[in-house]
Structure 1
Amino acid sequence: MAAIGRFQKGDEIFYAKVVDGELFRLHGDVFGSPSFDKKPLSVKGIKTLIPVQPSKVIAVGLNYADHARESGKPLPKEPLFWLKAPTSLIPDGAKVEIPFPNHRTDFEAELAIVIGRRVRNVTPAAAARYIFGYTAAEDISDRTIQNSESQWARCKSFDTFTPLGPYVETKIDPHDLTIQLFQNGQLRQNSNTSQLIFNCYQIVSFVSTNMTLLPGDIILTGTPSGVGPIESGDRLEVRIQGLAPLVNTVK
């Protein structure tokens, strides 16, 4: 497999492999050993959905040293994570909705891990075999609420606050990827996953010692420096090397 997406045509929802813009329907378990049609589908009338349906969305914070510094926070000694509501997920092309226009609300570009197999208490060395792939994400954050509370679940779990996709790339090394965010065409965040304090395998290992991870679960790995406010009318684009870009607008 390579890039895998989840799509809808009429009332039918299905997975497909994406090759040079063409879709090849998937048959069987997407997390198992599926087969694919040899002929591409007609893309007319097909809608791109969030690429998986997770039982939970986990977010890791302060995982780039430069972002920790700009936030005025000390570097964590172990991964700092919390849960985001799965109802905050939206696909590529959907609109981010700001619930409180008088609050500061920020963008955060992130590499997302997609779990492929049930896992508990895995070591970093063995973590890769439980990862299905990687996709682009944003962790939209209401800073006004975040700065007034000691926990971060509410400020990051509003509906539409987790853009994800468009596809899951199943054949990529996550350890040295350029990660960028463009706001209305202007480069705002520009870093590399090699700068992660805790890499993807260490994150999966740590989270799995605290809870069981299931196929389709999402782990956001943290954002680099350069986070900033959004407003209605903005166009946000996350570009991660080797992945399809994630584009959303704000209202």
Structure 2
Amino acid sequence: MKIARFRAGNRTAHGVIFGEEIAEIRGSIYTSFRITDNRHLLSDVRLLPPTDPAELWGPGLNFVDHLEYAGSVFGQEAMPVPERPQPWRKGRNALTGTLDPIIIPKDVAGEVHYEGEAVAVIGKVCRRIPAERAAQYILGYTCGNDVSERAWQKDDWTFWRAKGADTFAPVGPWIETELDPQQLDLLVRINGEEVQRCNTSDMLFGFAEIVSYISQQVTLRPGDLVFSGATGVTRAIAPGDTVEVDIPGIGILSNPVIAEFEAGEG
């Protein structure tokens, strides 16, 4: 089942995708709901980030083929293979939806890169759960882009702006509830050119391990988002580009890239 969050006119609602239509639901996507007869064409609504999360989490380095590149970002040799997840929070303010622009700040110090990822959506309050039960607390999965400014990532002590600047967390287009999260192909395209391809089977720590690890000390709540981590060597994006994160079985997250002044920002 594909569940989306959308705006039609002045109303915001959740709905279930049926082909080119979305059927509104009544109730909560986290407990129980019914599908209504109120339907909209997808072309007539604005898709929003699939949830309104309290927190967004990254797992730390989570693909072997990203370790060498990650080391180069910090001016080091390849990073060591981690023995456990190294979770970190991505700014809630960075969240944006499909078709919304990624805004390149006017004072960036270096290149801004895409990082296409799969994203787990928490469905229940989650505290101190073992990995073997973690799947019961995950509603489904969506596409995400952990946009990153590389100079800030190297020079700052935290990722507060390198990965947390406004619009640096596109997520969408919707949640898929019925798939194997550790067997997902993931592709990234810039202006139609494929620049990244991987499979979540290569994650060092699967979603169940990451969610369990975070929950030992931090309570995860319905709607919270947990990213998979990035793979391979990424490259810069620039105003005028369109970035697509494509996970067959889920959908395509697509975002144009613009400069800050183009967005009317002061």
Q: Which amino acid aligns with 1:120?
A: R
Q: Distance in 2 between matches of 1:125 and 1:228?
A: 36
Q: Could you tell me how far 1:42 is from its partner in structure 2?
A: 4.3
The reply to whether residue 35 of structure 1 matches residue 34 of structure 2 is yes
* TM-score normalised by L of structure 2: 0.91
Q: Would the aligned equivalents of 1:113 and 1:218 in 2 still touch at CA under 8 Å?
A: yes
Which stretch shifts more, 109-118 or 98-107?
A: 98-107
Q: Would the aligned equivalents of 1:92 and 1:165 in 2 still touch at CA under 8 Å?
A: yes
Q: Could you tell me how far 1:68 is from its partner in structure 2?
A: 1.2
The 3-state SS of whatever aligns with 1:245 is strand
The 3-state SS of whatever aligns with 1:16 is strand
Q: Describe how 1:14-163 pairs up with structure 2 within 5 A.
A: 14-38=13-37, 40-43=39-42, 45-72=44-71, 73-99=79-105, 100-163=107-170
Q: Distance in 1 between matches of 2:15 and 2:135?
A: 23
The 3-state SS of whatever aligns with 1:250 is strand
Q: Distance in 1 between matches of 2:38 and 2:93?
A: 34
Q: Could you tell me how far 1:70 is from its partner in structure 2?
A: 2.2
CA RMSD for the aligned pairs? 1.3
Q: Would the aligned equivalents of 1:179 and 1:192 in 2 still touch at CA under 8 Å?
A: yes
- Runs of 4+ aligned structure 1 residues displaced above 4 Å come to none
Which stretch shifts more, 101-110 or 13-22?
A: 101-110
Q: Distance in 2 between matches of 1:42 and 1:221?
A: 31
The 3-state SS of whatever aligns with 1:66 is helix
Q: Which amino acid aligns with 1:174?
A: P
Q: Share of identical aligned residues, percent?
A: 32
1:249/1:210 CA distance change after superposition, 3 Å: same
Q: Describe how 1:201-240 pairs up with structure 2 within 5 A.
A: 201-240=208-247
The reply to whether residue 180 of structure 1 matches residue 180 of structure 2 is no
What's 2:175 paired with? 168
The 3-state SS of whatever aligns with 1:71 is helix
Q: Would the aligned equivalents of 1:82 and 1:153 in 2 still touch at CA under 8 Å?
A: no
The 3-state SS of whatever aligns with 1:203 is helix
* TM-score normalised by L of structure 1: 0.96
- The gaps in structure 1 that reach 5 residues or longer are none
Q: Could you tell me how far 1:97 is from its partner in structure 2?
A: 0.6
Q: Which amino acid aligns with 1:91?
A: G
Which stretch shifts more, 12-21 or 145-154?
A: 145-154
Q: Distance in 2 between matches of 1:11 and 1:39?
A: 16
Q: Could you tell me how far 1:86 is from its partner in structure 2?
A: 1.1
Which stretch shifts more, 76-85 or 115-124?
A: 76-85
Q: Would the aligned equivalents of 1:138 and 1:163 in 2 still touch at CA under 8 Å?
A: yes
The 3-state SS of whatever aligns with 1:156 is coil
Q: Would the aligned equivalents of 2:108 and 2:149 in 1 still touch at CA under 8 Å?
A: no
1:151/1:42 CA distance change after superposition, 3 Å: closer
Q: Could you tell me how far 1:38 is from its partner in structure 2?
A: 4.1
What's 2:3 paired with? 4
Of 181, 196, 207, which residue of structure 2 is paired with 1:200? 207
Q: Which amino acid aligns with 1:79?
A: P
Q: Distance in 1 between matches of 2:145 and 2:216?
A: 25
Q: Could you tell me how far 1:32 is from its partner in structure 2?
A: 0.8
Q: Would the aligned equivalents of 1:188 and 1:226 in 2 still touch at CA under 8 Å?
A: no
Q: Distance in 2 between matches of 1:193 and 1:117?
A: 23
